[in-house]
């Protein structure tokens, strides 16, 4: 077994290597959402390893059994005798195991230095050379670069498979939230408003709108489901986010703002029967009922202290109810805090749900097959340059060659520019019309303070969009004014007034 000092040295070295691996990962400029998500998962795993090594170091430094002190004393008193004894034991170990292969630890951390996107580009370039060599275009292509070794990166097939099973189809690898299950639980709450899923995404955190009498066991189950989902979503899509600190800060604010009076059981709560009533008449009838009197007598007998003991039991029941209401209020506040942190993703989810409602079933299925929509890099252009196109045919929407007559039929030679989307150019009327329903255009419209409705479909200029929005606002105000001005009312004497004048006179009691 290694000495205590050697174990400490090894632990310090491991911590330094893990920290350097995190630095190497953070310095990589990744554009693909999948790769960035896997990188955050890897960094989170490395941080956990650092915590484990650090805990082990603290245990060694504490030296509860005194082994480190004995070892240090032996090395100090023995001079070089202890050193040669340890050196001899190492030599004997390797003589007994001559075929032992020693792998340098730094090799396990080289993969964190390599950018997976650059490795993908090299693989595509190698595939293009192999294709060119097979088709006889460049006989020397198979000579250049074939000796290159496959670059190992921090992403492997296991990470890809784990990412596929980590998120649901609605979440799209952490881009959106999936609250369909919680929506079903919400609809099962008594007297809750019947909201569509789109409306629910906008109002699920408004717990004050739910009647107090409906906050029963099903409501607690609903809140617990929301909390569990959000905490799991943070762990999957934002593994580096300090969720525990956010919960502690939210708890501190809640404790400072909580007022014991707000948790009062109220005058309509029967402490003996543990029942709460909605109406004072029902509560008064219950307090004078024989059933209530029997319950009070039973509590007095069980406590063995008479009326004073029964009063103590009732006070304890009130305190328990207050504690339950306090815990329920804290759960509501915590879910609201999670919703505030994820406000952007929830808004993106609403936009995505609105967009998907306009898609056909075939388009939805096709979108599910797309693992990496709207890449930030130029991967599509790179792939298009690698296609074999000796006749120089025009390219279709998928970047593959198509006949010229089909190219002209779909109008792909006509380019449309959208100033709202950063002067992005779309080839063909179909691609241009389709982009108005995509998240990118909807996001840019929100930045302009304009809703992405059907009225703005086809408007690609910022000036035109702002002008149309101002005109819509003016028309809406004029419609409201006209409704108040031209709607006529007649009083009992036959005098005719517009709506505004009639209501003003009626409030003053003049008619």
pLDDT value, residue 53? 92
Query: In the chain, count of helices (H) and strands (E)?
Result: 21, 6
How far apart are the C-alpha atoms of 135 and 369, rounded to whole Å?
31
Residue 348, H or E segment: helix 343-357
How far apart are the C-alpha atoms of 153 and 114, rounded to whole Å?
5
For 203-243, write each residue's pLDDT tens digit. 998 888 888 777 888 888 999 999 999 999 999 999 999 99
Tokens representing residue 266 in the block? 């109220």
Tokens representing residue 153 in the block? 């990166």
- Predicted confidence (pLDDT) at residue 125 exceeds the cutoff of 80: yes
Provide the pLDDT confidence category of residue 481 given band limits of 50, 70 and 90: low
- Predicted confidence (pLDDT) at residue 479 exceeds the cutoff of 80: no
Q: Is 230 left (phi over 0), alpha (psi -120 to 50) or beta?
A: alpha
pLDDT value, residue 43? 93
How far apart are the C-alpha atoms of 365 and 378, rounded to whole Å?
25
**Percent of residues, the chain, with pLDDT higher than 70:** 74
How far apart are the C-alpha atoms of 503 and 510, rounded to whole Å?
10
Mean pLDDT (the chain) is 78
Provide the pLDDT confidence category of residue 319 given band limits of 50, 70 and 90: low
pLDDT value, residue 17? 92
Sign, Cα dihedral of 199, 200, 206, 211: positive
For 275-306, write each residue's pLDDT tens digit. 665 566 665 665 556 666 666 666 665 665 55
- Predicted confidence (pLDDT) at residue 98 exceeds the cutoff of 80: yes
Query: Would you list the DSSP string of 46-115?
Result: HHHHHHHHHHHHHHHHHTTTSHHHHHHHHHHHHTTHHHHHHHHHHHHHHHH-TTPPPPPGGGGGGGGGS-
- Predicted confidence (pLDDT) at residue 382 exceeds the cutoff of 80: no
C-alpha closest to that of 334 among 205, 178, 241: 205
pLDDT value, residue 15? 93
Provide the pLDDT confidence category of residue 49 given band limits of 50, 70 and 90: very high
- Predicted confidence (pLDDT) at residue 311 exceeds the cutoff of 80: no
How far apart are the C-alpha atoms of 179 and 495, rounded to whole Å?
57
C-alpha closest to that of 200 among 213, 187, 216, 219: 187
How far apart are the C-alpha atoms of 407 and 460, rounded to whole Å?
24
Residue of higher predicted confidence among 442 and 509: 442
Pure H helices in 143-237: 157-166, 180-187, 197-203, 217-237
**Percent of residues, the chain, with pLDDT higher than 90:** 18
Provide the pLDDT confidence category of residue 314 given band limits of 50, 70 and 90: low
Residue of higher predicted confidence among 364 and 334: 334
- Predicted confidence (pLDDT) at residue 487 exceeds the cutoff of 90: no
Residue of higher predicted confidence among 410 and 175: 175
């Amino acid at each position: 077994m290694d000495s205590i000092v050697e174990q400490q040295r090894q632990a310090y070295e491991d911590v330094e290597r893990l920290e350097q691996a995190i630095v190497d990962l953070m310095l990589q400029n990744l554009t693909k959402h999948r790769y960035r998500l896997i990188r955050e998962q890897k960094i989170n795993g490395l941080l956990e390893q650092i915590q484990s090594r650090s805990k082990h170091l603290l245990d060694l430094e504490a030296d509860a059994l005194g082994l480190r002190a004995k070892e240090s004393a032996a090395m100090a008193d023995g001079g070089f005798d202890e050193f040669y004894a340890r050196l001899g034991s190492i030599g004997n170990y390797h003589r007994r195991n001559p075929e032992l292969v020693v792998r340098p630890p730094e090799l396990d951390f080289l993969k964190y230095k390599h950018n997976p996107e650059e490795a993908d580009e090299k693989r595509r370039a190698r595939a293009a050379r192999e294709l060119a060599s097979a088709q006889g275009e460049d006989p020397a292509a198979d000579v250049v670069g074939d000796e290159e070794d496959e670059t190992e990166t921090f992403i492997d097939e296991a990470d890809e498979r784990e990412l596929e099973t980590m998120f649901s189809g609605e979440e799209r690898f952490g881009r959106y939230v999936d609250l369909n299950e919680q929506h079903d639980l919400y609809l099962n709450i008594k007297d809750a408003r019947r909201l569509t899923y789109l409306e629910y995404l906008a109002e699920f955190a408004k717990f004050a709108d739910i009647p107090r009498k409906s906050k029963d066991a099903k409501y607690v189950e609903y809140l617990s489901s929301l909390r569990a989902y959000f905490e799991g979503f943070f762990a999957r899509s934002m593994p580096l986010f300090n969720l525990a600190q956010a919960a502690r800060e939210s708890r501190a604010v809640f404790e400072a703002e909580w007022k014991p009076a707000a948790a009062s059981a109220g005058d309509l709560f029967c402490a003996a029967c543990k029942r709460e009533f909605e109406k004072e008449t029902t509560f008064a009838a219950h307090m004078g009922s024989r059933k209530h009197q029997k319950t009070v007598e039973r509590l007095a007998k069980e406590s063995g202290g008479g009326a004073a003991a029964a009063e103590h039991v009732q006070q304890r029941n009130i305190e328990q109810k207050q504690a339950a209401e306090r815990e329920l209020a804290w759960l509501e506040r915590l879910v609201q805090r999670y919703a505030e942190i994820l406000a952007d993703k929830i808004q993106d989810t609403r936009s995505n749900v609105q967009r998907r409602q306009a898609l056909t079933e075939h388009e939805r299925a096709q979108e599910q097959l797309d693992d990496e929509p709207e890449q930030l890099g130029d991967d599509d252009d790179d792939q298009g340059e690698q296609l074999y196109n000796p006749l120089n045919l025009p390219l279709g929407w998928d970047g593959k060659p198509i006949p010229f007559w089909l190219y002209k039929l779909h109008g792909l030679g006509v380019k449309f520019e959208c100033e709202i989307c950063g002067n992005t150019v779309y080839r063909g009327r179909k691609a241009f019309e389709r982009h108005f329903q995509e998240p990118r255009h909807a996001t840019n419209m929100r930045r302009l303070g304009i809703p992405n409705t059907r009225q703005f479909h086809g408007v690609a200029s910022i000036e035109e969009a702002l002008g149309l929005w101002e005109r819509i606002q003016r028309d809406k105000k004029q419609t409201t004014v006209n409704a108040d001005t031209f709607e006529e009312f007649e009083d009992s004497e036959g005098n005719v007034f517009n709506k505004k004048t009639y209501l003003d006179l009626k409030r003053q009691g003049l008619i």
